[in-house]
Amino acid sequence: MISRQDFTFTIGYEGNVAVVDGTLKKRYGSFSAEQLAEKQLYKQAICSAVYEQSCGKTAGEALEKVLEIYNRSAAKQIDNVEDLKHTFGVHEVPDGIAKVTVI
């Protein structure tokens, strides 16, 4: 399975290879989902929360908090966590990632 940090900062996939933003990973890799959202790194915050949820670490509390932080500054409010995930294109941690390329 891909690591939380790698999944959080993945900018795309090439087959079974995750392409990771090394600069963001180095700077914000230790941040929680809530901390990432406070820095307005919403996609990364959602990825972090989805990863935690997939590992059974949370029951969606992190995603709810990201939604709350997002809605504080958004011009258009998002009603629920599923819509937030859909808006940012983050749904689940992919299976079958064999390699990570950091750029």
- For the residues 2-6, what does the mean pLDDT come to? 96
pLDDT of residue 17: 98
pLDDT of residue 55: 84
- For the residues 58-81, what does the mean pLDDT come to? 93
Residue 69 pLDDT > 70, yes or no? yes
What are the residues whose beta carbons fall under 8 Å from the beta carbon of 12, sequence distance 6 or more?
Answer: 18, 19
Residue 63 pLDDT > 80, yes or no? yes
3-state SS assignment for residue 19:
strand
- Tens digit of each residue's pLDDT (9 = 90 or more) over 93-103: 999 999 999 99
- Hunting for tokens 């299976």 — which residue is that? 95
Residue 12 pLDDT > 70, yes or no? yes
pTM, two decimals, is: 0.93
- Tens digit of each residue's pLDDT (9 = 90 or more) over 20-62: 999 999 999 999 999 999 999 999 999 999 999 988 776 689 9
Copy the structure tokens of residue 83: 């819509």
